[in-house]
Structure 1
């Protein structure tokens, strides 16, 4: 994606089902689980580089000894720093003779992360800033193990204010911060309720305090806790929680918006945001990892019992299509195939844009996430050209005009030509305060292969999505124009992004979407500016009444996607460059998106069809913010 946006975070959890000594004997290290957690997080580093955090719970710890631990970092390369720090502590204690790795009990006693239950989080700063206090996991502490809670997740809630109001109604005094804090307190409240109900029950039965504590731990019902907590949740989420007694849970939203996969055998149960990391880390086949069912919570008890149960009524499945287009790593074979198909589906639009000029067209991509789609486009082009060549050869053979020269011309000189025209240079720090100088520095993030394109050539570059068009304006088009091609065609494998997201992606300000900017310009140019005021009045009424209707869709109704694309082309073309060639921006169609990615139908940022009431509130509020010239997120 050429436009930088912050988005989905990553989760990882490892629950060992055997004592640490088992892994020492079988794998030669008592840190087997700790290492697996690091690898699961490292294989998902694409999901968050603004911060990282890990937590651990040790089971069966003697009274007086700590049992729950956390480490977080928001510095550069946070994941590396966390694990280097923790391993440094471990190795120091080994060198001092405090820890003897061959004796797992010394590891468990003296190493903070020598436990059976481990959880990790990779963060993109979609809300709450970038400081350590906003970094997962969040902790809720208590001297009672069954009241301790560590929480992390890949989620955005659309109704954080409502959740905070419900906490106030319960008698709490919440600190208005992030949705994570609201979720922590919500779950924590019902965790306390569950604990207190069990405490009163066992005390009335005459159990001793030690027996009561043990029975509470055994009978703590996390499925009920999550069910009671989730009554007002609206958003896309995968939540992971650790309880101080050694219980744990992973819950997924009822629409399946946010992804979550797991693997279980007799040694471990492990969770991750993506399937491929589980396959790599645990050496699995494609079929072995399973999806956490939407609307379900998987509960792991301290004694190793594992259960799966629904905690909220199911909703139609609308898994995020951006996971397939861009966010998830492409080494999952299904995602790889889908991205290739997204590229292939653009073949006809691309050929029309270059007038089927095979000989004088160079195909490339804007690194690096669009590379797989580029392969798909090249495959589609070759298939198309193969049909054309086959037809021409048959006609020539029939007419008796088939010659070596004709064969060479058809196959060698007119075959789809792919080049790596654009390279992404090392990241240039743009910390300088003056905006003009920042923009100048940002324009040098990309570089080109000089001489790879001739002045007579069309240059087609694939991008996976275009959100704001800022990078096209300031960087990519300026540098591509130095090649002086006849025409530049930028091809987006995603459709036009027209509506805000509120379920994980940090793109909620309508005025920053280039598709919205282009449509507003078209309305004004065509004498239909009154629609902007009409939609404002409708959105204001909808927000006041809590209506589940997207009035912003009316903005786009007067125009075809092609008209909007043409206006986008006009808007993103830099005004002060010497290059005089043609330029065009092409977007994927909604129909081709659904054909290429059939099982991830969440497309509200393209179509405005939101899966929850909160989405409709957000889109209407986003328009109010735009019209009233307000800044900031709309949820």
Structure 2
């Protein structure tokens, strides 16, 4: 629905020729393995469309580490539609190891200067490194202020990626080559929030790391001498890694490649895992498997839960001749199909998404015009129908309101009933999803507790322009993902944040909302002593 944006996607590749085996994934020269990186990043495009880039390692060139990055989609950034330019980029930046990144900004600007990976050059090879980052440091403001106050640093970008770069550089300052496991152990003690990292230095050392809470997904695999890692399994599977070889990196663990050998180490204690439930419901590619749970099957179960709820409610006649299920493309489709099958009514593609509109073309303008550019209702299947419109989530609601008007005006629907395959979003996220204030959220304006009443959902439906609206209950999330609640981050549903700084940011956002000061992103504000208490739910 273009209302919710994710932080980023990361990827890594390394060819280890001393293993001596052949790889079925890559049969070319070892120092050309970086050519696979754009292909991987295309499969992570759903995680960020503002910029893309890669850093490569090649011991046979003067620039041992070299970085290419630009704004735009992967196709735009790497000039894939311009064969000669793309070939030149691949040749100039060829390497036996590479890290890559696709970016969406939850903080910082949208220029090339903020594109990743970030590279820090130095005459000493172990102090020369590049890294890419997926997530959000909730204690970013504290870390930034410590740098500025205690170390005489100057920051040229106002984001947590540059802060991480300076903390990494500080850890590399010794005259002796540092133990990278110890380096990241010390950083892990300082960082709070979601942070998956890929790191590559001019010694040829690589680190792939997942934060101790495991908020964002990270998977890896090895095929003979070829190692790969990515934010989602689909990026590895589509390269040719066998599905059975793809594993999730455990929270608090890192993979170290050094002197041609790969090893797995624990760098931080994992007191609590809290995988972001939104990865399964919304963000991840439907073909991915995260922490051994299929995204597609999870979304299908959400649809089955919606069907059970629909039968219990009995608000809409389930006559196949007059009622249809319509998904909001594309993330609502698996849930919609499963819901329709369980109810015995048709699931139809009543909304056709225009997949060929570029990101830049739809920027600016009003919300209604953007909806008309992105979605075309089909009156052939909608005219005069009662529509159960399946949406994956409602965050700010503005796009959905425009879409509902579009369905009535152009689709000719008789009724439109919104069914949300997610509970109400009540509190902000400080772990890499672009919703950091209470003010911007739709549901809290209507709810007095964490569980919406029928009357409150009817009021929301009226505000949206729908004939009715129902959310899934909170307890359905864990059932559908098939993970226990204590292994999921559901902070935006419950207000239970898995890290201390996340809880602090929530209280700050409540205070800002109460005083009318929540116009900016909460985690970009300077930390102050907080006196607010956490309320039950929406109204603050």
Q: TM-score, normalised by structure 2?
A: 0.87
Residue from 476, 485, 488 that aligns with 2:404: 476
- What's the CA shift string for 1:77-115, capped at 9, x where partnerless? 34444264997468569xxxxxxxxxxxxx9xxx43232
What SS does structure 2 have at the residue aligned with 1:27?
A: coil
- What's the CA shift string for 1:338-392, capped at 9, x where partnerless? 111111111132232314445431111111221111121123224xxxxxxxxxx
Structure 2 CA distance, aligned partners of 1:92 and 1:153? 26
What SS does structure 1 have at the residue aligned with 2:172?
A: helix
Structure 2 CA distance, aligned partners of 1:91 and 1:602? 42
Q: Which moved more, 1:253-262 or 1:312-321?
A: 312-321
What SS does structure 1 have at the residue aligned with 2:325?
A: strand
Query: What residue number does 1:445 align with?
Result: 374
1:556 is aligned to 2:449: yes
What SS does structure 2 have at the residue aligned with 1:617?
A: helix
Residue from 603, 608, 611 that aligns with 2:498: 611
Q: Which moved more, 1:224-233 or 1:31-40?
A: 31-40
Structure 2 CA distance, aligned partners of 1:24 and 1:587? 47
Does the CA-based 8 Å contact 1:299-1:306 persist in structure 2?
Answer: yes
Query: What residue number does 2:78 align with?
Result: 82
Offset at residue 485 of structure 1 (A):
3.9
Q: 1:79 to 1:222 in 2, by over 3 A?
A: farther
Structure 2 CA distance, aligned partners of 1:269 and 1:24? 10
Structure 1 CA distance, aligned partners of 2:170 and 2:56? 22
Q: 1:486 to 1:42 in 2, by over 3 A?
A: closer
1:518 is aligned to 2:517: no
Structure 1 CA distance, aligned partners of 2:256 and 2:152? 27
Query: What residue number does 2:111 align with?
Result: 131
Query: What residue number does 1:328 align with?
Result: 284
Offset at residue 3 of structure 1 (A):
4.3
Query: What residue number does 1:589 align with?
Result: 473
What SS does structure 2 have at the residue aligned with 1:12?
A: strand
Does the CA-based 8 Å contact 1:569-1:583 persist in structure 2?
Answer: yes
What SS does structure 2 have at the residue aligned with 1:345?
A: helix
Residue from 221, 226, 229 that aligns with 1:271: 229
Q: 1:589 to 1:40 in 2, by over 3 A?
A: same
Structure 2 CA distance, aligned partners of 1:30 and 1:117? 9
Structure 1 CA distance, aligned partners of 2:296 and 2:398? 27
Q: 1:181 to 1:432 in 2, by over 3 A?
A: closer
Does the CA-based 8 Å contact 1:364-1:422 persist in structure 2?
Answer: yes
Q: 1:430 to 1:38 in 2, by over 3 A?
A: closer
1:140 is aligned to 2:120: yes
Structure 1 CA distance, aligned partners of 2:364 and 2:55? 36
Question: Where in structure 2 are the equivalents of 1:28-107 lying within 5 Å?
Answer: 28-29=28-29, 32-59=32-59, 61=60, 65-75=62-72, 77-82=73-78, 84=80, 88=84
- What's the CA shift string for 1:403-454, capped at 9, x where partnerless? xxxxxxxxxxxxx122221112353834566x5xx64454453221113235
- What's the CA shift string for 1:140-180, capped at 9, x where partnerless? 12111110121111110111121123324552414161100
Question: Where in structure 2 are the equivalents of 1:345-424 lying within 5 Å?
Answer: 345-351=305-311, 352-382=314-344, 416-424=345-353
Residue from 173, 180, 185 that aligns with 1:222: 180
Does the CA-based 8 Å contact 1:164-1:174 persist in structure 2?
Answer: no
Query: What residue number does 2:514 align with?
Result: 627
Does the CA-based 8 Å contact 1:450-1:483 persist in structure 2?
Answer: yes
Offset at residue 20 of structure 1 (A):
13
Does the CA-based 8 Å contact 1:321-1:602 persist in structure 2?
Answer: yes
Residue from 217, 237, 245 that aligns with 1:259: 217
Does the CA-based 8 Å contact 1:123-1:135 persist in structure 2?
Answer: yes
Query: What residue number does 2:423 align with?
Result: 495
1:6 is aligned to 2:5: yes
Does the CA-based 8 Å contact 2:11-2:40 persist in structure 1?
Answer: yes
What SS does structure 2 have at the residue aligned with 1:241?
A: strand
Offset at residue 10 of structure 1 (A):
0.8
Q: Which moved more, 1:421-430 or 1:269-278?
A: 421-430
What SS does structure 2 have at the residue aligned with 1:329?
A: coil
What SS does structure 2 have at the residue aligned with 1:277?
A: helix
Structure with the higher fraction of residues in helix conformation:
1
Query: What residue number does 1:462 align with?
Result: 390
Does the CA-based 8 Å contact 2:408-2:414 persist in structure 1?
Answer: no
Which structure has the larger Rg over C-alpha atoms?
1
Alpha carbon RMSD of aligned pairs, Å?
2.8
Does the CA-based 8 Å contact 1:498-1:515 persist in structure 2?
Answer: yes
Structure 2 CA distance, aligned partners of 1:423 and 1:378? 18
Q: Which moved more, 1:332-341 or 1:234-243?
A: 332-341
Query: What residue number does 2:529 align with?
Result: none
1:288 is aligned to 2:228: no
How many residue pairs get matched?
508
Runs (5+) with no aligned partner, structure 1: 94-106, 199-215, 383-415, 520-554, 574-581
